[in-house]
Amino acid sequence: MVSTENNGHKMKIPHVMTVAGSDSGAGAGIQADLKACAALGVYCSTVITAVTAQNTVGVQGVNILPEDFVAEQMKSVLSDMEVDVVKTGMLPSVGMVKVLLHSIKEYPVQALVVDPVMVATSGDVLAGSSVLPVFRQELLPMADLVTPNLKEASYLLGGMHLETVADMRSAAKLIHDMGPRNVLVKGGDLPASMDAVDVFFDGVNLYELGSTRINTRNTHGTGCTLASSIAAELAKGLPMLSAVKIAKRYVETALNYGKDMAIGRGPQGPFDHLLKLKVCRSVAPRAFCPSDLFLYAVTDSGMNGKWGRSISDAVKAAIEGGATIVQLRDFIEAAKECVSICHSKGVPILINDRVDVALASDADGVHVGQSDMPVSLVRSLLGPEKIIGVSCKTLQQAHEAWINGADYIGSGGVFPTNTKANNKTIGLDGLKEVCLASKLPVVAIGGIGLSNAHSVMEINVPNLEGVAVVSALFNAECVSSATKQLHEILKQAVQTRK
Ligand SMILES: Nc1ncnc2c1ncn2[C@@H]1O[C@H](COP(=O)(O)OP(=O)(O)OP(=O)(O)O)[C@@H](O)[C@H]1O
Ligand SMILES: Cc1ncc(CO)c(N)n1
Ligand SMILES: [Mg+2]
């Protein structure tokens, strides 16, 4: 990290070094990397491998820099500045790859993200097939992540045809065999697809990461931007999958903001990296983990009032008893106080329904119902890093939540409940059906308490992460001991499930 003095305190700034080509049109390459890192609050140093004459029509010329001068740039940066993550783009010769590998052996960094740039979407060649053997044999084995698009994945695999998400899944596994720790096969160029699905493989699990496909001509540089924003989130200290998810959302949000920009006369324009709405932070966000849903405490001011407790005391007691996430149904005055309590204990806190309250209190996110603001709009207001949960009763709603960028779904009412009037009960069978269809983690809600929590976890589907409860905690005389008891029951249920 780069250190700066701030009121006498050292301030660490996450630092990405990009090793890539310059794009004179400034939509891709070095220029995309600089803008993406700036938008995400991360310092970006730039080692230029080639200068391209490029615009929205295509690539008119490529001027490759001498390898020893690329080595000199890397040495200047790495020997002086503390680089956290190296991201590579255009590496146009075998010698350039060797120079890069030599430099990072001499000055090791936390992670290497390789975007194996070969052909621009315009069809122009940026690195010829002569680099393929050194990519396969030397570069990929050093990479923490490699991010080929469909064409690049096909080249790496000797011309294999890739036309479906199923093909992308196989490609991700085969490329993983070449040695990188993680693989992301990007589906931006998937023919005739309504969604923009990328496939991530970490060597054990395959994930399909979906988002809405933005209808725009302005997609030049999405690949470079995605890789450098993953590098930026890694530099902040996020784990790989969280970094990839946030970066993908950043690209989607940026494409959406820039969808109507008119720059250039060619078929593929640049987009708006520096989103009009700046919501990204340079400090590590509270990355969402599905296991946060294990014991989900939802506050209720009526119940707490009845027992003579303030909301903040109720939240403190729930955390003391082992609550793993908190949802507030009480507003702004309480929100700020509870946000600071939860943050001091490392427990994420979400706001029920109110995006404005979440923004004003800097909560970790919101939980919305089907009749609240649409998830895609919530995402564009909150930005790529916040947590969004959405209540779903049907398979269709679960699918939409995934495509629109939610992090998890709440499903229920599992049992009848007095907390929510006129709420349809879906039962354990309904819950199981939604879990099986959902690509997102699920928390069960509705009438769950000490007596039946076990039976909920027993439906035995891996993405059911936990239970959300109101009365079971906050209608009890002692919140922390009620929470402890529930925590114990859930722990036992999960152990018997294994
Ligand atoms: N129209 C779109 N709407 C939403 N997301 C998109 C769109 N096009 C591409 N993406 C996303 O952008 C990221 C980059 O994907 P893509 O497959 O376009 O990479 P690429 O071809 O390497 O990009 P480049 O245009 O820089 O060469 C992926 O996460 C992809 O899903
Ligand atoms: C310099 C450069 N790097 C990467 C790409 C891929 O988008 C491009 N078009 N130009
Ligand atoms: Mg593309």
Q: Distance between CA 351 and CA 56 in Å, rounded?
A: 43
Active-site residue among 25, 29, 44, 186?
186
Residue 130, classified by CB atoms within 10 Å of its CB into exposed (0-12), middle (13-18) or buried (19+), is: exposed
pLDDT of residue 279: 47
Helix (H, G, I), strand (E, B) or coil at 490: helix
Q: Distance between CA 455 and CA 400 in Å, rounded?
A: 28
Name the one residue in this structure whose structure tokens are 């069978």. 429
Is 37 in the active site? no
Residue 183 bridge partners (DSSP): 146, 201
Distance from residue 143's CA to the centre of ligand 1 (Å)? 21
Residue 456 half-sphere exposure, CB side, CA atoms within 13 Å? 34
Q: Which CATH architecture has domain 2-257?
A: 3-Layer(aba) Sandwich (3.40)
Is 305 in the active site? no
Question: CB-based contacts of 8: which residues, under 8 Å, 6+ apart?
Answer: none
Distance from residue 374's CA to the centre of ligand 1 (Å)? 24
Is 419 in the active site? no
Residue ranges around ligand 1 (CB below 6 Å): 28, 120-121, 149, 186-189, 196, 198, 211, 213-214, 219-224, 226, 248, 251-252, 255
Cβ(473)–Cβ(323) under 8 Å?
Answer: yes
Q: DSSP readout, 103-166?
A: HHHHS--SEEEE----B-TTS-BSS-GGGHHHIIIIIGGG-SEE---HHHHHHHTTS----SHH
Long-range residue pairs from 132-140, CB within 8 A, at least 24 positions apart, any chain: 132/156, 133/94, 134/94, 134/97, 134/98, 135/97, 136/178, 138/97, 138/98, 138/101, 139/88, 139/91, 139/97, 139/100, 139/101, 139/114, 140/114, 140/175, 140/178, 140/179, 140/180
Helix (H, G, I), strand (E, B) or coil at 51: strand
pLDDT of residue 278: 47
For residue 124, count other CB atoms closer than 10 A to its CB: 14
Question: Nearest bound ligand to CA 64?
Answer: 2
Q: Distance between CA 188 and CA 310 in Å, rounded?
A: 50
Domain 290-497 -> CATH class: alpha beta
What ipTM goes with this model? 0.92
Residue 440, classified by CB atoms within 10 Å of its CB into exposed (0-12), middle (13-18) or buried (19+), is: buried
Q: Distance between CA 24 and CA 87 in Å, rounded?
A: 20
Nearest to 129 by CA among 119, 140, 114, 115: 119
Is 253 in the active site? no
Atom of ligand 2 nearest to the CA of 52: 1
pLDDT of residue 421: 64
pLDDT of residue 329: 86
Average pLDDT, consecutive stretches of 10 residues, N- to C-terminus, the chain (498 residues):
52 93 97 96 97 96 97 98 97 97 97 94 86 97 97 95 95 98 94 86 95 92 97 96 94 90 92 66 67 93 88 94 91 85 93 92 94 89 90 95 94 85 86 96 96 94 96 95 96 84
pLDDT of residue 276: 54
Residue nearest to atom 9 of ligand 2 (CA): 120
Name the one residue in this structure whose structure tokens are 């730039």. 46
Q: Distance between CA 265 and CA 267 in Å, rounded?
A: 7
Q: Distance between CA 39 and CA 146 in Å, rounded?
A: 22
Residue ranges around ligand 2 (CB below 6 Å): 20-21, 23, 28-29, 52, 54, 89-90, 117, 120, 126, 221, 223-224
Nearest to 348 by CA among 358, 333, 334: 358
Residue 120, classified by CB atoms within 10 Å of its CB into exposed (0-12), middle (13-18) or buried (19+), is: buried
Which region, left, alpha or beta, applies to residue 179 given φ > 0 means left and ψ of -120 to 50 means alpha? left
Residue 41, classified by CB atoms within 10 Å of its CB into exposed (0-12), middle (13-18) or buried (19+), is: middle
Distance from residue 187's CA to the centre of ligand 1 (Å)? 7
Q: Distance between CA 30 and CA 46 in Å, rounded?
A: 7
Distance from residue 210's CA to the centre of ligand 2 (Å)? 24
CB neighbour burial string for 465-481, b if at least 16 within 10 angstroms, e if fewer: bbbbbbbbbbbbeebbe
Backbone CA torsion sign across 85, 88, 89, 90: positive
Cβ(110)–Cβ(148) under 8 Å?
Answer: no
Active-site residue among 21, 27, 221, 365?
221
Distance from residue 184's CA to the centre of ligand 3 (Å)? 14
Helix (H, G, I), strand (E, B) or coil at 434: helix
Question: Nearest bound ligand to CA 194?
Answer: 1
Atom of ligand 1 nearest to the CA of 150: 17
Active-site residue among 46, 88, 222, 299?
222
Long-range residue pairs from 174-181, CB within 8 A, at least 24 positions apart, any chain: 175/140, 175/146, 175/148, 176/201, 176/203, 178/136, 178/140, 178/141, 179/140, 179/141, 179/142, 179/143, 180/114, 180/140, 180/141, 180/143, 180/144, 180/145, 180/146, 181/143, 181/144, 181/145, 181/240
Question: Nearest bound ligand to CA 56?
Answer: 2
Distance from residue 210's CA to the centre of ligand 1 (Å)? 12
pLDDT of residue 284: 54
Q: Distance between CA 348 and CA 339 in Å, rounded?
A: 8
Show the tokens assigned to 484. Answer: 């402890």
289 alpha-carbon distance from chain centroid: 11
Q: Per-domain residue ranges for the chain?
A: 2-257, 290-497
Is 219 in the active site? yes
